[in-house]
Amino acid sequence: MDELHRSLRAYLKHLELLGVEDIPSPSPDPGPEGQLQELKQEVLQCRACPLHRTRRNPVLGEGNPRAILVFVGEAPGAEEDQQGRPFVGKAGELLTRIIKAMGLEREEVYITNVLKCRPPNNRNPRPEEIRACLPFLLRQMEIIKPKLICTLGTFAAQTLLGTQERITSLRGRFHQWRGIKVMPTFHPAFLLRNPAYKRLAWEDVKKIMAEYRRIKGQGP
Ligand code: URA
Ligand code: URA
């Protein structure tokens, strides 16, 4: 040990003579939790589209930073904008019930949206807003590395899958996106207005559950 100590001292002396004054230590790996925290700070500073002027709080997302399953909605609504949390209004209550019906908790999955800031009066996201905001969603998926994504409604499905196809033809089957299985289904807000479609949404959710169990090694 003494020897190691001596040679380390000699090496540092050598560096000093060479004019090295500071040895940068490798910064600790922040892990997915830390990386999402950093991303949250970036969203707070974001000025990439005009929505930062009218929103109260940006909504990055919440849940398990190592989630197998991620839900992607459209954009924060009034309640989400108030609280800075995704899906906490009426549509959120339905999403929470759906997650529980899957035998999961909100804390086990991750919930986010295509847009991180609320469009005024909940108008539809504009293409340039989606373009400006998409890097955040991509970074979230790179950090979390989910195996499954459930897109909620037209915008999330079309944005992620890069298609103009309608939700009615996209839903019900898995699509591939960057090696991740994507199941598009209806938006909970749409289901609240059109309860007859809940049956179809449940078919989609059952397919996600089967895949989730298979991935966790509990299924066929
Ligand atoms: N609708 C969405 O698309 N996202 C939310 O977070 C809330 C409502
Ligand atoms: N139209 C939408 O925008 N979302 C749905 O979920 C269904 C129809």
Q: Evaluate if pTM is beyond 0.85.
A: yes
Span 15-73, pLDDT tens digits: 988 888 887 777 778 899 999 999 999 999 999 999 999 999 999 999 999 999 999 99
Residues 174-203: tens digit of each pLDDT: 999 999 999 999 999 999 999 999 999 999
Pairing assessment for the beta strands 69-73 and 148-152 based on DSSP bridges: parallel
Two structure tokens written together for 145: 């590395």
Query: Does pLDDT of 219 surpass 70?
Result: no
Segment 94-115 mean pLDDT:
98
Three-state DSSP state, 213: helix
Q: Is the pLDDT of residue 141 over 80?
A: yes
Q: Residue 52 gets which letter from DSSP?
A: H
Ligand 1 within 6 A of 73 CB? yes
**In 10 A of CB 86, how many CB atoms?**
26
CB of 32 shorter than 6 A to ligand 1: no
CA distances from 208 to 20, 22, 72, 82 (A): 56, 52, 14, 31
Cα–Cα distances (Å) from 85 to 9, 80, 81, 145, 156, in that order, read 52, 5, 7, 21, 18
DSSP class of residue 5 equals: H
Give the C-alpha separation, 207 to 69, whole Å.
Answer: 13
Cβ 177 under 6 angstroms from ligand 2:
no
- Nearest-CA residue for atom 3 of ligand 2: 154
Residue 81 in contact with ligand 1 by CB distance below 6 A: no
pLDDT at 220: 58
What domains lie within the chain, and their CATH numbers?
32-215 (3.40.470.10)
Which one of the ligands is nearest to 113 CA? 1
